[in-house]
A and B are shown apart, each in its own frame.
Chain A
């Protein structure tokens, strides 16, 4: 009975991942991340994603703080944050977030303040969608592990300040 529940959850997880791949939210790099998980690091993916959430939210706060500063002119500083965000997003397979970062960086390189604001709005939206979907995925993974009788650490939801 428990095994049957685990199988259903696994099917739901696969459907969710397929949707995210179809939407272009994730790319094959996420699959590589999953392939790195093994018996020596059974929670590798959730640990990586937790770090990604933590760092991304810090970067988004920094970007918004820069743009909200009336005397803002330090586009180089913004590009540093964007390079970080681009790098970590591409490392976990967050394709749409990475693409928006690229557009944001292009606006920044042109010193286009209005373009940067627009890009930040899109970036926050895309990140929010990705985070919600990955939370949904890992919650199903936790339930699947419980149903299969496996111990699994709880993923802490990050709170926006």
Chain B
């Protein structure tokens, strides 16, 4: 069985480390980038992922803009927004950019498992 792959997009080193470790524990091959622009570049280089964990607030290119651009590029994989904002216009705006799912930080094993089960379905 082919293992799913994931891309962590977060400007915070600590979050990249924790999210990466969570993915490792679930046996999901993963890599991390620091902002939306790097996420775009990784896809332009030909890499593909089953899951993208997208932070909202990042320098250079934020998660909203990156999600819109990835969808415009034809990227159809699951993109899950991971942000400090739980409700309100910030979440709405992020969802409307093209997210499949949204979770408030912190990311937990349970939240990640729900995302992984959606990929498999």
Contact A48 B14 (CB under 8 A): yes
Per the 8 Å Cβ criterion, residues 102-121 of B in contact with A are 105-109
Contact B14 A92 (CB under 8 A): yes
Give chain B residues whose Cβ lies under 8 Å from the Cβ of A29.
106, 108
Q: Which residue of A38, A41, A90 is within 8 Å of B105 (Cβ)?
A: A90
Q: Which residue of B13, B22, B57, B109 is within 8 Å of A80 (Cβ)?
A: B57
Contact B105 A36 (CB under 8 A): no
**In the bound complex, what is the Cα–Cα distance between A88 and B25 (angstroms)?**
20
A29-B106, A84-B12, A87-B105 known; A51+B57 contact, CB < 8 A: no
Contact A90 B84 (CB under 8 A): yes
Per the 8 Å Cβ criterion, residues 1-58 of B in contact with A are 11-15, 17-18, 21-22, 24-25, 55, 57
Residues of B within 8 A of A (CB): 11-15, 17-18, 21-22, 24-25, 55, 57, 83-84, 105-109
Contact B15 A83 (CB under 8 A): no
Contact B106 A48 (CB under 8 A): no
Q: Which residue of B14, B25, B57, B83 is within 8 Å of A91 (Cβ)?
A: B14
| Interface contact tally, CB-CB below 8 A | 55
**In the bound complex, what is the Cα–Cα distance between A40 and B15 (angstroms)?**
19
Contact B18 A83 (CB under 8 A): no
How many A residues touch B, CB cutoff 8 Å? 24
Asked if A157 lies at the interface with its beta carbon under 8 angstroms from chain B, I say: no
Contact B109 A88 (CB under 8 A): no
Give chain B residues whose Cβ lies under 8 Å from the Cβ of A84.
11-12, 57
Residues of A within 8 A of B (CB): 29, 32-33, 35-36, 38, 40-41, 44, 47-48, 51-52, 55, 80, 83-84, 86-88, 90-93
**A-B residue pairs in contact (CB < 8 Å), sample of 16:** A29-B106, A36-B25, A41-B21, A48-B14, A48-B18, A55-B14, A83-B84, A84-B12, A86-B84, A86-B105, A87-B15, A90-B84, A91-B15, A91-B18, A91-B105, A93-B106
Give chain A residues whose Cβ lies under 8 Å from the Cβ of B55.
87
Q: Chain B residue with minimal CB distance to A88? A: B14
A29-B106, A32-B109, A83-B57 known; A88+B21 contact, CB < 8 A: no
Q: Chain A residue with minimal CB distance to B107? A: A91
A29-B108, A83-B57, A83-B84 known; A88+B22 contact, CB < 8 A: no
Contact B57 A33 (CB under 8 A): no
Give chain A residues whose Cβ lies under 8 Å from the Cβ of B107.
91
Contact A88 B12 (CB under 8 A): yes
